[in-house]
Amino acid sequence: MYELTDLRVGSMTDVGCVRELNEDAVLVRGPLFAVADGMGGHAAGEVAAAIALEHLSVLADRPVVDRTEVVAAIDRANAAILRAGAADPAAAGLGTTVSGVCFASIAGSPHWLIFNVGDSRVYRHAGGRLSQVTVDHSEVEELVAAGHITREQARTHPMRNVVTRSLGTDPAPVCDIWVLPVEAGDRFLICSDGLSGEVDDAAIEAALRDEPDPQRAAVALVHQALDAGAHDNVSVIVVGLPLGDDQQVDITAPRKQLRGTA
Ligand code: MG
């Protein structure tokens, strides 16, 4: 059965080629891996992203983490960001996305718990194929879902940076949660829109397939975004399990998909 010490992880965050500040933040503290993309003027986004990851990092000290604890930590982060905005007029309107993966124990066996608020993303890379697990909370995602624009048009649409859910809002945002069984060779990519806005899914899939080492894969992906002009901050975490010969994966719970918390 896989344990936390089996996880392999790499990460990188970069200010990009245009922005003056890096308002993204990454948390790499097993069993929690998360990216936050802060927003708001006067460096407020940096504050919001830091608050979000600080509240999640508390879970890293727990022997067992479950879905309820992740949702509660995100709710506490939302309240703390609202307080920070109320306390400082210059920081009013601060907010952040948060997306991540937690190696969690569910019904006594290890699972991946994926969570998302906003338009940062979690992708799964398994068997050489990439699939996006999270669904963006963004204006363009709603336009695509309604059939008004194509996914390709969404990449250059003027509303592409407008999120429809974020931390720092009242009422608190609903956090989407997915629970996936652990499988040998699983890898997850957690990234801010500074990667997904510059590098398309086919190139991300190829980069992960070509580079098994998670740190080298993370660096390669950030460099692809930089080569494409990196108009935004770029953050990447690659986390996963090796393909073991004799490691047994214990899957005792059925595959299920959970959405929302309301
Ligand atoms: Mg961004």
Q: What is the pLDDT of residues 201-250, one digit of tens each?
A: 999 999 999 999 999 999 999 999 999 999 999 999 999 988 765 444 44
| CB of 25 closer than 8 Å to CB of 53 | yes
Range in 43-52, 61-70, 118-127 with the lowest mean pLDDT: 61-70
Place 251 in a pLDDT band, splitting at 50, 70 and 90.
very low
Cis? peptide before 171, omega within 30° of 0: yes
Range in 30-44, 111-125, 176-190, 244-258 with the lowest mean pLDDT: 244-258
Least Cα distance to 163 among 177, 145, 142 occurs for 142
Q: Which residues contact 261 (CB under 8 A, 6 or more apart)?
A: 71, 174, 175, 177
Output the average pLDDT for the chain.
Answer: 90
The tens digit of pLDDT for each residue in 121-154 reads 999 999 899 999 999 999 999 999 999 999 999 9
Residues, Cβ < 5 Å to ion ligand 1: 37, 192-194, 232
Place 105 in a pLDDT band, splitting at 50, 70 and 90.
confident
Distance CA 93, CA 90 (A): 9
Ligand 1 mean position, distance from CA 232 (Å): 6
Ligand 1 mean position, distance from CA 97 (Å): 9
| CB of 8 closer than 8 Å to CB of 239 | yes
Q: How many CB atoms lie within 10 A of CB 47?
A: 21
Distances (CA, A) of 190 to 3, 78, 214: 20, 20, 12
Distance CA 196, CA 200 (A): 6
DSSP state of 6: G
The predicted structure's pLDDT at residue 245: 54
| Four-CA torsion 179, 182, 186, 190, nearest 10 degrees | 30
Ligand 1 mean position, distance from CA 31 (Å): 24
